[in-house]
Amino acid sequence: MPANEAPTIVAPVRTLTLRELNRATLARQLLLRRHRLSVTQAVERVAGLQAQWPPSPYIGLWSRLDGFAPGQLVSAVARRRVVKATLMRTTLHLVSTRDYLAYAGVYRERRIGELQRQLAALGEEADFEADGERLAAFAAEEPRTRPELLALLGRPKLRIEERAPWLSWYGLAAHAGLVNGPSSSTWRSNTAGGTFVPTRTWLGADPGTGVEAAAHLVRRYLAAFGPASRPDIGQWTGLPLGVLDAGLEQLRLRRCRDELGRELVDLPRAPLPPADTHAPPRFLPRWDNLLLAHDIRTRALPDEYRKAIIARNGDVPETFLVDGFVAGYWSVERGRIRLEPLAPLPRVARRELEEEAAVLEAFLRASGKA
Percentage of the chain exceeding pLDDT 90: 87
Please give the model's pTM, rounded to 2 decimal places: 0.93
- Range 51-55 average pLDDT: 93
What average pLDDT does this structure show over 97-105? 97
The sign of the torsion formed by the CA atoms of 116, 119, 121, 124 equals negative
Q: Could you tell me the residue ranges of all domains in the chain?
A: 14-20+209-266, 282-366
| Residue 244 phi, psi (nearest 5) | -70, -40
Strand partners, 263: 257
Average the pLDDT over 118-146 and give the result. Answer: 92
Phi, psi of 6 (to 5 degrees): -75, 145
Distance CA 152, CA 140 (A): 13
What mean pLDDT, rounded, does the chain reach? 93
- The whole-number pLDDT of residue 11 equals 54
| Proportion of the chain above pLDDT 70, given as a percent | 95
**Looking at 29-33, 184-188, 226-230, 355-359, which range is the least confident one?**
184-188
In the prediction, which pLDDT does 311 show?
86
Nearest to 16 by CA among 217, 226, 195: 226
Question: What pLDDT is attached to residue 193?
Answer: 65
Ranked by mean pLDDT, the top range of 121-135, 145-159, 280-294 is: 280-294
Q: Is the pLDDT of residue 24 over 80?
A: yes
pLDDT of residue 127: 84
Please give the torsion angle defined by the CA atoms of residues 277, 280, 285 and 289, in that order, rounded to the nearest 10 degrees: 0
pLDDT band at 358 (very low <50, low <70, confident <90, very high): very high
